[in-house]
Amino acid sequence: MKLLEERILRDGIVKSSEILKVDSFINHQIDPVLLKEMAGEWKRLYSDCQVDKILTIEASGIGVACFTALAFGVPALFAKKVRTANLSGDVYTARVQSFTAGREYDIMVARQYLHEGEHILIIDDFLARGAAMRGLVSLCGQAGAIVEGAGVCIEKAFQNGGNDLRAEGLRIEALAKIESMSVENGIKFC
């Protein structure tokens, strides 16, 4: 998506060959017009699919998931991050290994909001090694929900999470796909 790529080139900050900061327009400060445009793009890309609900993960996925939910005319649901395993039986949970934060955490959704046979589109801001995405897919699997696909704003393709997940059969629509990046040479899109 040209609009997003141009914005990343203009306002994104490459901190290292692995870390891209987009917190001036996606992650901390949010440009709602850009998010709405991205939502419209997923609506177009997934127009051939039944989508009953948008699933995302707190916190930075929530904004873009809300606009996508509005575009599809369905509810959004965000998985919560919990630090304890002390959860009631009324939730689905998955363990996620965060490489950025260097720790593991659990994510959860209440069982009553994810149903068997429900068609789910997963939305998130970043896809890198795919750990959070695998957690969200796992929550859907536990519920017997059907994952139609995923939409991510930015895929760091060189970290292979997307390729691995596609090889396992997950459809992923990344609106900006980064082939490589470095502080010296900037960003190269796929």
The residues that touch its own copies, with contacts defined as CB under 8 A, are 23-25, 28-33, 35-36, 58-59, 62-63, 65-67, 69-70, 73, 75-78, 80, 109-110, 112-113
Q: Which among 83, 169, 177 is positioned nearest to 128, based on CA atoms?
A: 177
Least Cβ distance, residue 190 to its own copies (angstroms)? 28
Q: With both helix axes pointing from N to C terminus, report the angle between 62-72 and 32-45 in degrees, rounded to the nearest 10.
A: 50
8 Å CB contact between 106 and 138: no
Q: What is the DSSP string of 63-96?
A: HHHHHHHHHHTS-EEEEEEES-S---TTEEEEEE
Residue closer to its own copies (CB basis): 25 or 162: 25
Residue closer to its own copies (CB basis): 122 or 157: 122
ω into 145 cis (within 30 of 0): no
Query: Collapsing DSSP states into helix, strand and coil, what is residue 18?
Result: coil
Backbone angles phi, psi at 103, to 5 degrees: -155, 170
Least Cβ distance, residue 152 to its own copies (angstroms)? 17
Taking the C-alpha atoms of 55, 59, 64 and 68 in order, what is their torsion angle to the nearest 10 degrees? 20
Least Cβ distance, residue 27 to its own copies (angstroms)? 9
Least Cβ distance, residue 62 to its own copies (angstroms)? 4
Residue closer to its own copies (CB basis): 29 or 50: 29
Residue closer to its own copies (CB basis): 5 or 37: 37
Least Cβ distance, residue 28 to its own copies (angstroms)? 6
Residue closer to its own copies (CB basis): 23 or 104: 23
